Structure 1
Amino acid sequence: MIELRTPAEVEAMKPAGRFVAEVLATLRDETRVGTNLLEIDRRAHEMIRAAGAESCYIDYHPSFGASPFGKVICTSINDAVLHGLPFDYALRDGDLVTLDFAVAVDGWVADSAVSFVVGTPRDEDLALIDTTERALDAAIAAAVVGNRIGDISAAVAAVAHAEGLSINTDFGGHGVGREMHGDPHVPNNGKPGRGYPLRAGLVLALEPWFLQSTDQLRTDADGWTLRSGDGSRGAHSEHTIAITDDGPVILTDRSFLGVR
Structure 2
Amino acid sequence: VVAFASTEAVKDVMGALATRFHAAAVPDVASFRVTGGGVEATRPVMASKILAKTEAKGEMVFVSVRSGSYDASESPVTPELTAIPYEFDEGGLKTILKEVIKASGDKVDLNEASVVVAAGRGVKDDEGRKLIEELASLFNGAIGASRSVVETGMFDPSTQIGQTGKVVSPELYFAIGISGAIQHVAGMVNSKVIVAINKDEDAPIFQYATYGLVGDLYKILPPLIEKLREAKANA
Give your verdict on TM over 0.5: no
Higher relative contact order (CA 8 A, sep 6+): 1
User: Taking structure 2 as the reference length, what is the TM-score of the superposition?
Assistant: 0.27
User: Taking structure 1 as the reference length, what is the TM-score of the superposition?
Assistant: 0.26
Structure (1 or 2) with the larger CA radius of gyration: 2
